[in-house]
Every structure is written in C-alpha cells, then in structure tokens.
Structure 1
Amino acid sequence: MSTLLPGIVRDAVRTDRLSASVLRHDGEGAPVVLVHGNVSSSLFWQPLMLALPRPTIAIDLRGFGDSEALPVDATRGLADYSDDVASVLDALGIAEAHVVGWSMGGGVVLQLLLARPDLVRSLTLQAPVPPQGFGTRLDGSRCTPDAAGSGGLGANPDFVARLAAGDTTDEAPTSPRSVFRSSYVAPGFSDEHEDLWVASMLTTRTGEDHYPGDGTASEHWPGFAPGDRGVLNAMSAKHLDLTGVVSVPAKPPILWVRGAHDAIVADESFFDLHALGKHGIVPGWPGEEAAPPQPMVAQTRAVLDAYAAAGGSYVEDVFEHAGHAPHLEDPARFAAALLAHVAAAD
C-alpha cells in the first residue's frame, strides 16, 4: 500500500538534532506546519494538506513515521519534540509559520511557543494534551507528589504489544485498528483511508525510550508513577508544565478545535486511570478527593482564559459530531476554520 496520497511529497531533512521525515504540499502564502500526536505520524495530515491552498509541511516526530528513532528524555517534558520541530524549520529556512498541533502535538507546539516564539505566527490546537500535564487537578496541582497513575506504566500492554507486532486486524479491542475506531474518531465514522491511518499508527516505535516509556513503583494508588524516559512520561505532570504560555510577551492568536465526542482528551476520559478507577474498571480507587478524574478540557480552557486575560486571544470551536480527530471527521469545516484563522493572523 502506498502511504502517500497523490500530490504529497516526502523529504528527508537532516538537522543538527536528527534526521526528520517531512511531508510537503506546495501552495501560496505563509506556510502551515502540522505536528501530529501520539501513536500516529504525519500521514494523518494528508487530506488536510491537499485541501489547503497554502504551502503545508507535516513533520514526523522522533520515533514516529520515518523520522529517526531517537530516545525521548521525558525529564524535558515535550521539549525534545519541540526542539526537533524548531530544528527542521531552521533547516528549511522557515522563519515564521502558522503552527498546528494535534493531541500530544498540541503540547509540542505550546512548548515551541515557549522556546521559539519567533517561529509562531498563529497557533491551532486540536484536542491538545492538557497544559498542566497528566495527573493533575483542575488548578494544575498534582493529585500526588509523584503524579501516580500517569506515565509509561499506564499504557495497555496488549495494545503496545500489538503495535510492536504490526497488528492490522480488528480481532481485539486493543488492536490499533479497533482503537482507531473506538477512540480516535466518533462512533460511526468511516472513510476510505482507514488502512492508511492504521499504517500510520504502526510506525510508532515501542519501548522504554519511546512509546510508552518506563515507570516506577509508587506508594500511592494505583501503585505506579512516571519514569524519566519515553512518550507518556513526557506528558506527565512530573515533567510537563506548559502554563507558562500565559506569560509569553508576544501572544499569537490561538484556535482551539475539539470534538464533542473525544474519547481521549475529555473531562472524564477512559484514558485516565482515575476515571477508570471511579467507574470500577481499575480496583482500589481511593475516591474523588484523592484521585479525581482529570478535567482535561476544563484545564485547557482555564489556561487559554488566562492567556486571553493577559493580552492574547483564542477561539474555541467545538465539532459537535466529531471525536479526537475533527480534521478527519469534518475536513471541510476544519480547513475553513483553519484558513480563516491563519488569514486573520497574516
């Protein structure tokens, strides 16, 4: 199966940090840079790239797609990824771009704004990781000092094994294809590119340095805490705090897109161990006071409200019939919203 849609070009870009794979589609105007999320790759962006009249660049993060599988230092939060993105833009001679991040990629582009604000003309966040990191309460404080219940040991081991084995079936709820259907998109969604989306998921490198990462024992429920290596630990509150975007001097406009049926980033997501405990799926839950389900959407809104109060601006656009991937589920509406956003920022 060809993984490139007609009109998309793949380039290898060597930077001072890594060898990165980049998808490209030509157009006119300031470029749009697309950053994918966890257990995916740049392949997911192709229909959107073809729908945009602007030059578009989709970057494979380290350990995904065809980019170099370098280890992830989770103690830096998502900075390994954002520094990689910045190095690619520098190598391509792109001084400023409209930057779009999906899921984990939303956190990556917020970290890019913190580290290299000169590169960001506008920001679009699609179903972003909560800026406070995982394992926190609404105010961003950790539920336990070690952010127990988040990080690498929270991944489903059968899902990880099926990723590593290249499973393309739908024989189990934990197969990548089944997870795409149940969690990446809203119930009932289908399109002709599902094999491509599964192929993209299967580019994920697995292990302690990649997905999901390592972990450690904890005295707090559910008995484990984040380690210092790999993808999921990089998004744990032990290492990640993006709330500093509120204080960046130059505040590009932000478009926040989310699906009303998002199963991954939600105020009571079943990808959150605390929510699973509350609903009796993980035993021994210590209760709402000690381990409340994480209000991920409310946390993002709180930080963006503070961003606006400090002189920035944002628009929240809810796709009522979409899940975690509005750009796939309602591509025409997503493209129109993005183009209006970037045009206003030019």
Structure 2
Amino acid sequence: MRMPHLEGIRCEQIHTPRLTFHVLFAGPPDGEPVVFLHGNVSSATFWEETMLTLPPGFRAIAPDLRGYGESERRPVDATRGLRDFSDDVHALVETMGLARFHLVGHSMGGGIAMQYAIDHAERIFSLTLVDPLSPYGFGGTKDPEGTPCWPDYAGSGGGTANPEFVRRLAAGDRGEESDFSPRRVLRAFYGKAPFLHPREDILVESMVRTAVGEENYPGDFQISANWPGIAPGTRGVNNAMSPKYCNLSALAAIDPKPPILWIRGAEDVVVSDHSLFDFGYLGSIGLVPGWPGEAIYPPQPMVAQTRRVLERYEAAGGRYQEEEIPDAGHTPYLERPEVFQEILHAYLRR
C-alpha cells in the first residue's frame, strides 16, 4: 500500500547511483530548493505540513532516507558515522541537478545535515537544525566537549533501543495496547505528551515502515564490562549515531560558512540535557540500576554540546541563530506549526 499524502504533495521514485529514493515535493518546480531530512523511526511524511506552507518562490524536497518509508533498504555501515546517509543525500541532489539548496534536518536528520555541511559546505545556502542530534552523537559522553564516559562508549549504540519497542516496530504494531507500541511511543515522546496529531494514523504507518534489524534500526551491539553493560556494534542506525563513530564538531571549521538556524522545543525529552533516552539521565533518577554516579556517567549535556560547537562556529566567522519554542517537545514543526513556520520562513527569506 502506498502512503497517502496531503493535497499538494507530489511523490516520485528517484534512482541514484547509491539507492532508489522515495521523494516528496511541494511548491513550484523552479523554486529555490529546500531539502528536508527526517529523524529516526519516521519518514519524509512528517514534513508534509511544513512543506506545503513554505513562502512563495521556494520548492520543498523531502526524501525518505535509506531504510525508511518507501525508499530502498540498504545496510548502514556504522563505522562511517552518518556518512552513509550524507553520501546518499549527495547522490540524490547530484541526480536532481541541485547546485545549491537550503538544508533542514530534524533529530537524526539534523546530524546528517551537519555531516553533509562538513562534506559539502559549498552546496548549502543555509542550514536549519531542528532538535538535532548532538554533534557528539547520542549517549556515552559527559561534558560539553564530548568526553566519553568509558573508552568503549558503553551506553550508546544499537543495544540502547528498548527491545519490546523494536519487536513491536518489526511486527508492524499499529495499536495502542502497549506502552511500547509505536503509537504510544509517538504520543509520549515525539512531542510534548500527550502528543496527539490529526494525522496520527499516517505518522504511525510511517514509523512501522522502518527497516528493523542489525543492518538498520537499531543495529547490533556488544556486551561491555562497563555500566550499563552494552557497547556499540558496527552496523545499523543507532551505532552510526554513537559517539564512537559520530563526531560532527568539525562543523565549527567548515568553509564557506552558511548561516545556521537552531530551533528546539523547550519540552523536548529526546534530545535534551535530561533525555529520557540517555542512560546517564535514567541512571541518575534510579530507572537503571548500578549507576556509577555523576563523576563517571552524568547525563549527556546534549543541548550544551550543540551550543558549544555553534559558539565555535560563530567565533570562526559563522553566524547562528538559536530559537526555543515553548510548549513544544521533539517535533515543534508538528506541535506548534504556526510558530515554527514564522521562524523558518523569516530565516529563509533573509
């Protein structure tokens, strides 16, 4: 079954040298291109409302990334960090003939956008990061400089995903009987809880189309002697975001330096200095036993890490703008669309 889309959204399969993409479009074909990258366990359909409301003269382009939505399922080599995804995006824009474009990334897509800017800064008019992955990856670091808690980066990678959620995702669970069903996870964590969206059924359908397994989401893992007992493997999405392989701090030194907009929901519990998906924070509040304490494994300061890299970007001659949207969680573009759009549109026009 093909995913239904909002009126005004067009879709196309685009073949590139790396993989076949399912891509959504909105706006005039000759408009200034804005490329949207979605987050983990979602797809381009999350961007549809934002795509349809871009100012006149802009063209919205949103691909399903590898292993998500209706794009081709290919393994993720986690030892390359997010470069598999960045290289995919580059193959897509090259195939489409996009010389330059605005780039917008949410969550994991924000990390991919940073990696793309490191690899191809000259192609970007502007960079917008929406509740982005920390430049030092997800899990296992303890200060604004991204210092690892353990040498093996225990507490990050493929073993950090809840196994019952993974099982239900793989089974295509569209119900709401379990707290670990994709629908209940969407309501509890993707936005400020309870997050109830008019297109909830479509968003859930998008989630359950995620490729699940050791090669994709969440990836493989290794047993560790260090708390909390699991360390990154070498395959799959969550390992690609582990700080063992993912370090995007080189963003501060890219040249040329496109202007950067950083937007985040004030109530985000996913990418946060107190993330409910971070073992350091969960251990500190007693939800994971055996926590070795603040000095060894504190909560990862994800927001502080992003701010530190962007301050370095600014000190090196770049410009960045930080916007916090109150009363919004991890997806402010879906929760408070009018506020989000006002900020994004003003930025794009400038």
TM-score by length of 1: 0.97
Mapping 1:177-192, distance limit 5 Å: 177-192=183-198
Counterpart in the other structure of 2:142: 137
Q: Is this contact kept in 1: 2:122–2:255, CA < 8 A?
A: no
Counterpart in the other structure of 1:18: 19
> For residues 316 and 334 of structure 2, what CA distance do their matches in structure 1 show?
33
Q: Which residue identity does 1:43 align to in structure 2?
A: T
Counterpart in the other structure of 1:310: 316
Instruction: For residue 316 of structure 1, report the CA deviation from its aligned partner.
Output: 0.8
Instruction: For residue 4 of structure 1, report the CA deviation from its aligned partner.
Output: 1.1
- Give CA deviations for 1:139-182 in whole Å, capped at 9, x if unaligned: 11111111101000010000001101111111111111111111
SS where residue 31 of structure 1 aligns?
Answer: strand
Find 1:242's aligned residue among 245, 248, 252: 248
Q: Is this contact kept in 1: 2:158–2:221, CA < 8 A?
A: yes
Counterpart in the other structure of 1:199: 205
Counterpart in the other structure of 1:60: 64
Find 1:72's aligned residue among 47, 71, 76: 76
Larger mean CA deviation between 25-34 and 6-15 belongs to 25-34
- Segments ≥4 residues shifted beyond 4 Å: none
1:100 maps to 2:127: no
> For residues 173 and 252 of structure 1, what CA distance do their matches in structure 2 show?
42
SS where residue 116 of structure 1 aligns?
Answer: helix
- Give CA deviations for 1:169-199 in whole Å, capped at 9, x if unaligned: 1111111111111100112442311111111
> For residues 188 and 237 of structure 1, what CA distance do their matches in structure 2 show?
31
Find 2:51's aligned residue among 36, 49, 52: 49
SS where residue 286 of structure 2 aligns?
Answer: coil
Larger mean CA deviation between 216-225 and 1-10 belongs to 1-10
Instruction: For residue 217 of structure 1, report the CA deviation from its aligned partner.
Output: 1.3
Instruction: For residue 339 of structure 1, report the CA deviation from its aligned partner.
Output: 1.5
Larger mean CA deviation between 179-188 and 230-239 belongs to 179-188
Q: Is this contact kept in 2: 1:95–1:118, CA < 8 A?
A: no
Find 1:217's aligned residue among 215, 218, 223: 223
Q: Is this contact kept in 1: 2:75–2:236, CA < 8 A?
A: yes
- Give CA deviations for 1:227-255 in whole Å, capped at 9, x if unaligned: 11000000001000000011112110011
Find 1:233's aligned residue among 227, 230, 239: 239
> For residues 16 and 188 of structure 1, what CA distance do their matches in structure 2 show?
42
Instruction: For residue 119 of structure 1, report the CA deviation from its aligned partner.
Output: 1.9
> For residues 189 and 213 of structure 1, what CA distance do their matches in structure 2 show?
27
Alignment RMSD (CA, Å): 1.1
- Give CA deviations for 1:187-220 in whole Å, capped at 9, x if unaligned: 2442311111111111111000000000111111
> For residues 195 and 274 of structure 2, what CA distance do their matches in structure 1 show?
22
1:81 maps to 2:85: yes
Q: Which residue identity does 1:145 align to in structure 2?
A: P
- Give CA deviations for 1:12-65 in whole Å, capped at 9, x if unaligned: 111111111100112363111000000000010111111113110001110001
Counterpart in the other structure of 2:286: 280
SS where residue 257 of structure 1 aligns?
Answer: strand
Uncovered stretches (5+) of structure 2, i.e. residues with no partner: none
> For residues 188 and 208 of structure 1, what CA distance do their matches in structure 2 show?
31
SS where residue 272 of structure 2 aligns?
Answer: coil
Find 1:322's aligned residue among 307, 319, 328: 328
Q: Size of the alignment, in residue pairs? A: 344
Q: Which residue identity does 1:41 align to in structure 2?
A: S
Q: Which residue identity does 2:23 align to in structure 1?
A: V
> For residues 111 and 222 of structure 2, what CA distance do their matches in structure 1 show?
24
- Give CA deviations for 1:275-333 in whole Å, capped at 9, x if unaligned: 11111111111111111110111111111111111111111110111000011011122
> For residues 262 and 325 of structure 1, what CA distance do their matches in structure 2 show?
8
Instruction: For residue 115 of structure 1, report the CA deviation from its aligned partner.
Output: 0.7
> For residues 201 and 279 of structure 2, what CA distance do their matches in structure 1 show?
29
Q: Is this contact kept in 2: 1:186–1:322, CA < 8 A?
A: yes
Q: Is this contact kept in 1: 2:118–2:250, CA < 8 A?
A: yes
> For residues 279 and 349 of structure 2, what CA distance do their matches in structure 1 show?
40
> For residues 225 and 268 of structure 2, what CA distance do their matches in structure 1 show?
31
1:342 maps to 2:348: yes
Determine what percentage of the aligned residue pairs are the same residue.
Answer: 52
TM-score by length of 2: 0.96
Larger mean CA deviation between 51-60 and 92-101 belongs to 51-60
Uncovered stretches (5+) of structure 1, i.e. residues with no partner: none
> For residues 281 and 27 of structure 2, what CA distance do their matches in structure 1 show?
44
Counterpart in the other structure of 1:127: 131
